[in-house]
Structure 1
Amino acid sequence: MNGSADAATTIAIAQLGTVAALVIFAIVGRGVTARCLALLAGCVLFLSSDLVWQVAGWASDVPASLPASVGIADFATAATGTQLAVAMATAAAAIGGVVLVLAYAVRRVAGAHDRTGVKPDLTATPQAAEARNKRLMGILQREHEKLRSVREMHRYLELATRNSQITVLFQDLDLRYQWVVNPRPYLIPEDIVGKSDEEILPEQVRPLVIGHKTRALQTGTTQTFEIEIPGNDERAWFRMDVVPISNDDNRLTGLVCTAIDISRSKRLDMMRTDLSRRLAETLQRFNLALRSEKIMVFSQDTDLRYTWANSDETQIGSIIGRTDDEVVPEPDRAQIMGLKKRVIETKRPVSGEIGVGEGADRRWYDLHIEPNLKPDGTVLGITCASIDITHRKRNEEQMRLVMRELTHRTKNLLTVVIAIARQTSTQSPTVEAFVPALIARLRALSAAQDLIVADEWAGVDIGDLVRVLVGQFIPPHSSRVTISGPPVILSPEASQNLGLAIHELAANAVQYGAFANAKGSLDVSWAVKTVDEKEVLSFTWAETGGPAVSEPTRRGFGMTVIERNLSRALRADVDLAFTPGGLVANMTLPLEGIVPFASPDRALLAQAS
């Protein structure tokens, strides 16, 4: 009896242990079906345990046995209390299990209806069930195709973003990365997912990026901006597009961020900017060189319409959009347009000298013309380089004038020299007297020529002429010499003839007049007066304090130069007075005959000098 009791107790404890394991599995296990079946089995084992009923105190009120053949009416008299309770609990547990299984089946069918839209029919025939199964299989196949299409699109997205250097990321409302497509080459998704911008981005760009993302979450608008990320070797630039994402209830769920690597375009922009700056500097130097050399470069189309020019600084302003008919004066148009049309027709470069304008405004250019050709040889237009050679042409013209004037002056000078030599020889009794006299007169003539050249052939100031010629005999700043008069410019011819007369007066003063002793003095003065409504130059040479003089009995070379030469060459009136105090010479010369006259040749000659 005790042995059977101990075995029953051991079985009861084992049952309770099994019940406890099943309950634990029902709580922590996976799958609703498995958990429900575990709970059902635990209940059956728990209710069928004798130990449970004995603890409850119900075992003594139930009959001891229950024959299988007895009916329900004899059940209470045939079974023990414990067996009856176990049977009833087992039946209740079985009924509960059936109810749970049915409920689970109904739920699965209802769920399938919700997912597929097909209402289950539990009373349907096999043919209807087969049709329903086909519809379900079709729905499942379509869903499978959609899933495969999504996977393909995801793969294509990864390929497209990888080849285009685009990174796509998703962040939740806490700005933590949830997934990433095509991270940068040196990153993998595990380095990004689950982290925030504070953990990934460099400190320099962190405030900018977080600020834009926060603004996108607050305003619900897309934010676009650029960031620069410094690196060890080189910098990287990205264009960021931050798009807020909402669910079906219009509630924000996070951000989709697109980062496009624009480093190459940025570097190209920087290179383009640097090249543009260098090109501008080179073009500026090129234009400066062209302007300094008075060179103009321009292009024209086949209609000879100006399409480009390196400068608008022309005599008529900008020429862009205008034609030669509008720009070139009519007298010069035929020559210029003929050269340009010849280049267009022959496709060969041409050079030539052209003149534009009239009179003093006429300009000369060295024009070089080349055709602009397409790859197939068709003429697009012409490019011309025009060099202003006006100064050179004027210099050449002035040189011709100088040579012509020099030839004329040389002939005149030789004529004067011959006349001086002839007159000196006739007045000199011996060769020894002839040579010094001739040299002195040639020196005076040379001094006058020096002044003419020094004043650029424009004329000689009469004061400079007197000081130079008197200075050959006595210093002009000596206290014995007084020179006074207004500035008067003498023509080269007047300077030469009046200079010879002054030389003869000074030489005579040294030999016979004021400079023949140590006490004499000389006063030279001149003034411009009006006589008979004509301006004249009144020139006075007055000597005092020298030896007593008297009128000479014969006319020498000096008297001839002073009286006859001045009268013939300059239409001068000469009055020589030999007073006891010294020689006084008064000369009146018409102003129009001794001042430089306005002639184009003489002006050009002065410019050339």
Structure 2
Amino acid sequence: MNTTEPLTGKPFALEGKSAMMERALSSAGISILFQDSTLTLSYAENLPRHFAELFFAGGSDSDLFGQAHGDYLRTLKFKVLETGTATNAEIDMDVDGEVRTYELKVQRINNEGSLGILSVISEVTELRHREKVLKSLLRELSHRSKNLLAIIQGIATQTARNTLSLDSFLAKFRGRLQSLSNSQDLITDSSWRGAYLFDLAEKQFAPYWPETAGSMPIFGINAHLTPNAAVHLGLALHELIVNSASYGAIAGGAPSITLNCKEAKHNGRKAIEIAWVEILPNRTEIHEFSENSFGKTVLERVVPSSMSGKAELRLVPGRIEYYLQIPETEFEILKRP
């Protein structure tokens, strides 16, 4: 019957019902397969082309699905015939060079006293692919969440070790959490692909940069950083800008700071070097980077080790300089100045 033609006769005549069922099966992407009590194929409807070409009345599951799948389905269907308990099965088949997954819902039927098997077949290739992608994303999210919690725990522990009062701890801890949140916002907005250096720096500097000082001094290559690099570099930039706002150039009213990114070499491989240079308004050596302080630990140890990079913090009268080399595994140069 040509089910693409309008139905004729009474709407609910037998022929009309059959045509309506065919159309419903076709639009839903569902096939049905009938077998007698010996599992001999007797009738099929709406089979995909590759199955329809193999189907013939009197054939078997092995003729349709191949010997291995046929043996598996034969055992499963005989059990359904014996127990009357419906079950589901999935098989993967190579169709035109592509692996496709089919779900079979198998149940026993009684046709005028004769037992048989009805299999409802649907392709679930895309559904299973989406499920695999979702599981992969959830595993990645779990991994990133654990890493983030470990960073927060480390920040809390180190901040507590280097503060003498609860008020001081809360102020510094909240600032560092906000820095982490700012970096995380950029990463999330990019669907976890990372963040551009300039965007990251502006996000970290904005709460502390004086409005009267003009645009933020960020120069060089606007490298695209991995999520890992963005999170840890964000922490480093936070420590530098907070120190400047508390004791350095910003606090002194003359924010002479530059942040520059250029191409470099690290262990003989491509890298970028990010340089912070801060000219202090006087030759004071007051800062938050004393030996074993949290800021110094972050800048010299935590940040470079997290990226397998290299860092150097130079504290000299009248200047604070910080140089960080980031290996090519942690960035891409998508835009050049």
Query: 2:281 is matched with which residue: 547, 560, 563?
Result: 547
Cα distance change on mapping 1:318 and 1:306 into 2, 3 Å: farther
Match of 1:575 among 307, 312, 315: 312
1:480 touches 1:521 (CA, 8 Å); kept in 2?
Answer: no
Distance 1:580-1:388 versus aligned 2 partners, 3 A rule:
farther
1:451 and 1:329 mapped to 2: Cα distance? 51
> Unaligned regions of 5+ residues in structure 2, if any?
1-6, 333-337
Displacement of 1:539: 2.0
- The structure that is helix-richer by fraction is 1
In the alignment, what sits opposite 1:423?
158
Residue in 2 that maps onto 1:128: none
Aligned residues: 315
Which residue, 469, 484, 488 being the options, matches 2:204? Answer: 469
Shift of 1:500: 1.3
Superposed CA deviations along residues 272-320 of structure 1, whole A, max 9, x for unmatched, are 79979966973575145413xxxx2221445554842325266x78553
Check whether the contact 1:336–1:354 (CA below 8 A) recurs between aligned residues: no
Distance across 2 between alignment mates of 1:333 and 1:499:
58
Matches for 1:234-253 after TM superposition, within 5 Å: none
Distance (whole Å) between structure 1 residues aligned to residue 209 and residue 40 of structure 2 = 72
Q: 1:394 to 1:365 in 2, by over 3 A?
A: same
Instruction: Please give the residue correspondences for 1:141-180 in structure 2 after superposition, counting only pairs within 5 Å.
Output: none
- Aligned partners of 1:576 and 1:584 also within 8 Å: yes
- TM-score of the superposed pair, with normalisation by structure 2: 0.72
Q: For residue 49 of structure 1, what is the aligned residue in structure 2?
A: none
* 1:550 Cα deviation from its structure 2 partner: 5.7
Cα distance in 2 for partners of 1:317, 1:435 equals 70
Q: Give the equivalent residue in structure 2 for 1:297.
A: 31
Is residue 503 of structure 1 aligned with residue 238 of structure 2?
Answer: yes
What is the CA–CA distance in structure 2 between the aligned matches of 1:586 and 1:565, rounded to whole Å?
A: 14
Alignment of 1:338 with 2:72, yes or no, is: no
Deviation string for 1:99-155 (max 9, x for gaps)? xxxxxxxxxxxxxxxxxxxxxxxxxxxxxxxxxxxxxxxxxxxxxxxxxxxxxxxxx
Counterpart for residue 352 of structure 1:
88
Work out which of the two has the higher radius of gyration on C-alpha atoms and give 1 or 2: 1
Q: Aligned in 2, Cα 1:337/1:496: closer, same or farther, shift over 3 Å?
A: farther
Matching residue within 204, 216, 219 for 1:480: 216
- After superposition, the Cα gap between the structure-2 partners of 1:499 and 1:319, relative to the gap in structure 1 and judged at 3 Å, is farther
Q: Which residue of 2 aligns with 1:513?
A: 248
Amino acid at match of 2:86: V
Q: Could you say which residue in structure 2 is the equivalent of 1:433?
A: 168
Aligned-pair CA distance for 1:438: 0.9
CA offset at residue 467 of structure 1?
Answer: 3.1
Which residues of 2 match residues 83-482 of structure 1 at below 5 A? 271=9, 282-283=20-21, 285-287=23-25, 289-291=27-29, 296-302=30-36, 303=39, 305=41, 307-312=43-48, 318-321=53-56, 323-328=60-65, 332-343=69-80, 345-346=81-82, 348=84, 350-356=86-92, 365-371=102-108, 373-377=110-114, 379=116, 382-389=117-124, 393=128, 405=140, 407-474=142-209, 479-482=215-218
Aligned equivalents of 1:533 and 1:305: distance in 2? 67
Opposite residue 312 of structure 1, the aligned amino acid is: P
RMSD of equivalent CA atoms: 4.2
CA distance in 2, matches of 1:458, 1:317: 45
Q: Is the 8 A contact 2:10 2:16 kept in 1?
A: no
- 1:474 and 1:498 map into 2 onto residues whose CA distance is 18
Amino acid aligned to 1:286: A
Which string of whole-angstrom CA distances, capped at 9 and with x for unpartnered residues, describes residues 466-515 of structure 1?
3322234339995133355244241x333332221121122123223343
Compared CA separation, residues 452 and 353, structure 1 to 2 (3 A): farther
CA distance in 2, matches of 1:560, 1:527: 24
Alpha-carbon distance in 2 for matches of 1:300, 1:281? 18
Partner of 2:335: none
1:494 equivalent among 207, 216, 229: 229
Letter of the 1:370 partner, please give it. Q
Partner of 2:301: 564
The code of the aligned residue for 1:495 comes to A
> Which residue identity is paired with 1:481?
P
Higher strand content, 1 or 2: 2
- Secondary structure at the aligned position of 1:524 is classed as strand
CA contact (8 A) 2:22 2:46 kept: no
CA shift for structure 1 position 533: 4.7
Q: Name the SS of the counterpart of 1:516 in structure 2.
A: coil
Task: Tell which has more relative contact order, 1 or 2 (C-alpha 8 A, sep 6+).
Answer: 2
Give % identity. 22
Q: Secondary structure at the match of 2:164?
A: coil
